[in-house]
Chain A
Amino acid sequence: MQEERAKLLRGYRMRYGLKIHVYGDFACFTRPEMKAERVSYDVLTPSAARGILEAIHWKPAIRWVVDRIHVLRPIRFTSIRRNEVGSKIAVANVRKAMKSGDIDGLVLDSAADRQQRAALVLRDVGYVIEAHFEMTNRAGPEDTPTKHAAMAARRAAQGQCFHRPCLGTREFPAEFRLVESLPPSELPEADRDRDLGWMLLDIDHADDARSLFFRAIMKNGVIEVPHPRAAEVRS
């Protein structure tokens, strides 16, 4: 019984899964603990991968789940320093303005409110994301897995997206291609097996925006990503 179920799931994944090759000049998958002065994770996080897939195709009926991340290029860092805005406009102020109809106090002077922040970002990155989607409970009667799989594959093949996918932060755009087989890896042999430590898996918005972490181990350039509901992530 277990075997049949596993085979069914594998088949499902193979039919409704995608392989997307993403690459770009710079990437910054910011570590949560180093957000002010950004330091990037060594590789693509599953959360960023999900963001790229959602930029290509997403409807409330589906939820993307990342299965595997292949690292194709060596991990290289570089450091840049930029001036960024230091504060946000508070949500309460926005609501007050909406209620009163008066936007007088609602201002953020970005020229005055500057912070200098350094960032340790990745250079020349290339990954292949293997993912599949699941139907959510907001799927209507005409939302079938086949339909969404076809839409996603077509859009990825044609390079269509709702907004340009990014590698961590919006200023680092991602190039993407749908692939059938893996492109050749440029990762040197010695670097293909690494323990990358605890990495952010995703943010669980259902549970007060709690962060989920998993132990990322790269074997032969591949990182297996657990399901967000899996025991090793939750317990």
Chain B
Amino acid sequence: MTILTALADHYDRLANQGEVPTFGYSTERIAAAVVLATDGRVVELRDLRAADGKRLSPIPIAVPASFKRSGTVPRAFFLWDNTKLVFGIGAAKKAEEEAAPSAGGIAAYPAHHGAFRARHQELLAGTDDPGLLALLRFVEAPPLDPQLLPSWWRRDLPDQNCVFQLHGDETAPGRPRFVHDRPAARRIWEAAADASAKTARCLASGRFGPIAKLHPAVKGVWGAQTSGASLVSFNQDAFESYGHVQGDNAPVGEATAFAYGTTLNHLLARGSRNRLQIGDASVVFWAHAASGDSVAAAAATEAEDMFALVMNPPPPNDAAEAAKLRDRLTAVVSGHAPAGALAAIDRSARFHILALSPNAARLSVRFWLESSFGEVLDRLAQHHRDLAIEPPPAPVWKQNPSVELLVRETALQERADNVLPHLAGEVLRAVLTGAAYPQSLLAGVIGRIRAGEDVNGLKAAICKAVLNRAARNADKTEMVLMSLSTTLKDPAYRLGRLFAVLENIQRAALGRLNASIRDRYYGAASATPATVFPLLLRGSNHHLSVLHKDTAKRGLAVWFETEIGEILKPLDPALPRHLNLEQQGRFAVGYYHQRAARKTDADAGADEAPGDDTQSTETAEG
């Protein structure tokens, strides 16, 4: 199935549930309603905005469909538009403002107002509906003068969208009926549909019909231009073929184009349950349910919620919630259905995941997956098993870190802006299709570690996951385990363990320092062990002699010495001269595993100090 076909199918279900506007209407954010008297005078300007946190923001209303307005010739929407066209007043452009400063940064747009007037005079000619007549008289009045604004004008109004209302026209007290909702207006709008389009077979639905010339704009993709970007566009010569222009290059029926555009806008809307942000990719997901089948629709909603929960676990507010969340997620990870939630999930429901990336006015598809929900859950479970590491990353997230957090570990200062552009899509692909993780994920994490960031649980988990999946795909048996393994013979892993032991020795002997061997030598030790480790081992002898002098810590010193001996025994005396990326990953995992290991009670002479030190370091940094 194709992307457009799947989106258009989803539209049917949404339209059935009444969540999307019908053909010919679109949902736009409207700030104000211009209340008109029957003679066309403006009675008042009603503010429709709703509180959104601290600010007031425009509310979404279904209005006659907007279309893309590119170029300089103004084209008006029907019965609504922004103040440039409705009043002829808008915010002054920066260049004009500098040349001739005007009052309050407002300029006149006579051409736009003229376009609005012309369109409405053309469409509303011969109407006798009082609301439409009031509007007609309003547009025939001259546009407002920026120097002489009337009393009802508000300073924050320029460039906001407005709809119209006849004074006193309400469906119920307090619920206004706008002019575009009046039956006469609806009739005029439906009759005005453009009948000049060519007919051809639609490539998404297979039906013959009029072909869309320009495809709908998709708003809500992070990083794309705010007026909307296009999934299907031919905005440069190089994209057109065989002499076709615009939409003829890819015949998609108008109804299908409207359906997929509306669905995508609905899924990407702010506050939608069906979207995630991973790096620069806006990910939308939905489960397929035949329209009209409410049982299937309920199962589909449940599946979508479960996916959102696993991909982006919300931070729990208290311990009880945390426990509940952990149970649900463990159930997904282990694949067992607990009583309750998972039992209701239909594993055979078709699940779709689409990741879109912005490129100015266009959208590129980063990832598209269509498979059964059960398979998606299995892959997520596999991903979490690959990621599991002992000790677990930090008490705060005993549940699974989201893909967004994984990807941010590779970024400078863990900011989303600094994530490599393709990484998010490739990691998502690896997680959801079971393919190998991208090498750039490992490279990014190792780069951050070498730059001086601490090897925290998440970085070690990522290294382990990348290495293990690569080894499994290549059918190699020697894999890095979840917890410390004293039998693994891989030299890089053992060297990582050795480095952790040497760091522990230094801390036991000298206490906390401004710059431990980790700060000074980690990078060199993990990249060129042959040059660094002899130096470190020599230094550790001094630290061990300090420990030996203290009778209380003598047992600890002996234990450290046996550890070093045990680690070095299977290694070749000539240490590797240099470790490649994969081996540096093992080094990091070995370091992480060993750092948390403490002298067990079986060894004589309990000395909790280094152990406690390690533990407190863990919780402070984890």
Contacts and interface: CB of A to CB of B under 8 A. Distances in A.
Q: Do A and B come from one complex?
A: yes
Interface of A: 31-37, 39, 76-79, 81, 84-88, 90, 115-118, 120, 195-198, 200, 203, 209-213, 215
A97 B68 CA distance: 36
A212 B206 CA distance: 10
Contacts of A212: 201
Contacts of A215: 206
B250 A32 contact: yes
A22 B601 CA distance: 65
B2 A79 contact: no
B236 A32 contact: no
A197 B3 CA distance: 10
Given A32-B249, A37-B365, A211-B203, A118 B359 contact: yes
B239 A35 contact: yes
Nearest to A80: B422
B33 interface: no
A118 B357 CA distance: 9
B232 A33 contact: yes
Interface residue SS majority, chain A: strand
A213 B203 contact: yes
Contact of A200 (B4, B203, B204, B238): B203
Contact of A81 (B234, B239, B250, B421): B421
A197 to B, nearest CB: 4
B88 interface: no
Given A195-B1, A203-B242, A211-B251, A33 B203 contact: yes
The 5 closest A-B pairs by CB, nearest first: A37-B364, A209-B242, A33-B250, A118-B364, A32-B250
B535 to A, nearest CB: 43
Interface string B418-431: 00011001100100
Interface string B228-240: 0001111111111
Given A34-B231, A34-B365, A195-B1, A86 B237 contact: yes
Given A78-B429, A87-B236, A209-B242, 11 more contacts: A31-B250, A33-B250, A36-B234, A36-B239, A36-B362, A39-B368, A77-B368, A85-B238, A117-B364, A209-B243, A212-B201
A116 B359 contact: yes
A120 B236 contact: no
Given A37-B363, A79-B367, A120-B368, A198 B244 contact: no
Nearest to B281: A79
Interface residues of B, number: 45
Given A120-B365, A120-B368, A36 B250 contact: no
A33 B252 CA distance: 8
B239 A31 contact: no
A84 B238 contact: yes
Given A209-B242, A213-B201, A117 B206 contact: no
B365 A87 contact: no
B420 to A, nearest CB: 11
B241 interface: yes
Interface string B107-123: 00000000000000000
Given A79-B425, A86-B237, A197-B5, A33 B364 contact: no
Contacts of B252: 33
Contact of B366 (A120, A200, A213): A120
Contacts of A116: 359
A76 B236 contact: no
A77 B429 contact: yes
Contacts of A211: 200, 203, 250-251
B32 to A, nearest CB: 36
Interface string B1-23: 11111000000000000000000
Given A81-B421, A209-B244, A36 B235 contact: yes
A209 B243 CA distance: 8
A213 B381 CA distance: 39
Contacts of B204: 33, 197-198
Nearest to B425: A79
Given A79-B426, A84-B238, A198-B5, A32 B203 contact: yes
B546 interface: no
B435 A76 contact: yes
A118 B1 CA distance: 21
For A37, A81, A86, which residue has the most chain B Cβ atoms within 10 angstroms? A37
B249 A118 contact: no
B252 to A, nearest CB: 6
Nearest to A115: B236
Contacts of A36: 233-236, 239, 362
Given A213-B201, A213-B203, A37 B359 contact: yes
Given A213-B203, A213-B206, A31 B233 contact: no
Interface string B98-110: 0000000000000
A197 B231 CA distance: 19
A35 B250 contact: yes
A233 to B, nearest CB: 9
Contact of B365 (A39, A78, A115, A203): A39
